Amino acid sequence: MRTVIISGANNGLGYACAKELALNKDIYLVLACRDNEKATKAVEKLKNTTKNNQIEYICLDLASLQSVRQFEAKFAQKNLPPLGIIICNAGVQFIQRRTYTDDGMETTFAVNHLGHFLLVNLLLKHLKPPGRIIFVSSDTHDPSKITGMPPPNFQDPNLLARPELDPTLKDKGVSDLGRIAYTTSKLCNILCAYELSRRLDKQRLSTEEHPITVNVFTPGLMPGTGLAQDYPPLAKIVWDYILPLFSFFPKINTPQQSGRALARLVEDPQLKNVTGKYFSGLQMIESSQESYDVEKAQQLWDKSVELVGLRKDKLIVQ
């Protein structure tokens, strides 16, 4: 028996993955979600659908560093099976407004990257080898792919947290700023995952016999999820109701299809020693050229430690 934590699991990809994993009675699921009502309903629905009662919800608001710390504290107090899997799935995108968290940081960067960065670092002491950490990213991070999204604009992480101070963005409109923040955050997910994989290997915390692997998953184009919550009304209708009708197209996935693929990264024994890789659905592929930049990954890691207020001497992974 092992525990799996999935952020943002009350709907979309996270819920579909949780539903697939709940069929395995050797897994105890923890849904890490912000909305109490939606999460409670998701837990009950999963229990009724899968006949598995080993599912619960712990509140997690990735836009609040305090909430992330409270989540870890609550998890530590529970007598659950050993933690084996962390899936960093939750994500947001804002294209009509620029928003900031109570911690004073741009929301997309704070939720998609910093919240998960802090969550993983706090949970590492609970993670029992063999363990797996999976970051959900997006092909929109890769400018070589045609996604309809602008390329990421990786800068000093202090500027990612406070983009109004970034002179390279001063001529951008609100919509472009939001889309750039999203693609940049997805690049950060990959840089962070690869850097964590390297650091685990360097410190010998991950061995061939007892590995802790860190990989990245992209669901591809997956309409019908909550990612479009800040879209204009017409675009939201297209994303939520029209594009899902074309899921039979090769490049359009349903949450169910992508959820099954994500669950494979958790359960497939053939992947037990695979780390620092990028998966598109069931296929291992190359991520963008920039995502392999070790210097940028180290800069992101070190500055993220400062931004979330972690003490370097208390880090499990240095």
Domains, the chain, with CATH or none: 2-313 (3.40.50.720)
Task: Note if 182 is an active site residue.
Answer: yes
Is-cis flag, bond preceding 82, omega within 30? no
| Secondary structure of residue 135 in the 3-state scheme | strand
**pLDDT score at 210:** 60
Which of the two residues, 113 and 259, has the higher pLDDT score? Answer: 113
Which of the two residues, 235 and 164, has the higher pLDDT score? Answer: 164
**pLDDT score at 239:** 43
DSSP 100: B
| Secondary structure of residue 152 in the 3-state scheme | coil
pLDDT band at 241 (very low <50, low <70, confident <90, very high): very low
Phi, psi of 246 (to 5 degrees): -105, 25
User: Which residues neighbour 188 within 8 Å (Cβ) at sequence distance 6 or greater?
Assistant: 109, 112, 113, 154, 160, 300
pLDDT band at 207 (very low <50, low <70, confident <90, very high): low
Q: Average model confidence (pLDDT) for the chain?
A: 89
**pLDDT score at 248:** 46
**pLDDT score at 233:** 57
Is residue 237's pLDDT more than 90? no
State how far Cα 249 lies from the chain centre.
Answer: 25
**pLDDT score at 158:** 96
**pLDDT score at 221:** 59
With beta carbons less than 8 A apart as the criterion, state whether 244 and 221 touch.
no
DSSP 80: P
Is residue 8's pLDDT more than 80? yes
- How far apart CA 219 and CA 258 sit, in angstroms, is 5
Q: Which tokens go with 281?
A: 């659905």
**pLDDT score at 112:** 97
Strand-pairing partners, residue 216, are 135, 278
Is residue 184's pLDDT more than 80? yes
Q: Kindly state the helix (H) or strand (E) to which residue 37 belongs, with its residue range.
A: helix 36-50
Q: Which residue of the set 15, 28, 182, 231 is catalytic?
A: 182
Q: Which tokens go with 223?
A: 């309409």
Is residue 240's pLDDT more than 80? no
Residue whose pair of structure tokens reads 């991520």 in the numeric block: 287
State how far Cα 137 lies from the chain centre.
Answer: 6
- How far apart CA 284 and CA 71 sit, in angstroms, is 32
Is residue 274's pLDDT more than 50? yes
Range from 184-193, 216-225, 292-301 carrying the lowest mean pLDDT? 216-225
Q: Put residue 216 in one of left, alpha, beta given phi > 0 → left and psi -120 to 50 → alpha.
A: beta
pLDDT band at 256 (very low <50, low <70, confident <90, very high): confident
Residues 2-11, mean pLDDT to the nearest whole number:
96
- Would you call 161 exposed, middle or buried from its count of C-beta atoms within 10 A (0-12, 13-18, 19+)? buried
Strand-pairing partners, residue 33, are 59
Which of the two residues, 174 and 65, has the higher pLDDT score? Answer: 65
Is residue 84's pLDDT more than 60? yes
Range from 183-197, 232-246, 293-307 carrying the lowest mean pLDDT? 232-246
Query: What pLDDT digit, counting tens, does each position of 131-143 carry?
Result: 999 999 999 999 9
With beta carbons less than 8 A apart as the criterion, state whether 160 and 108 touch.
no
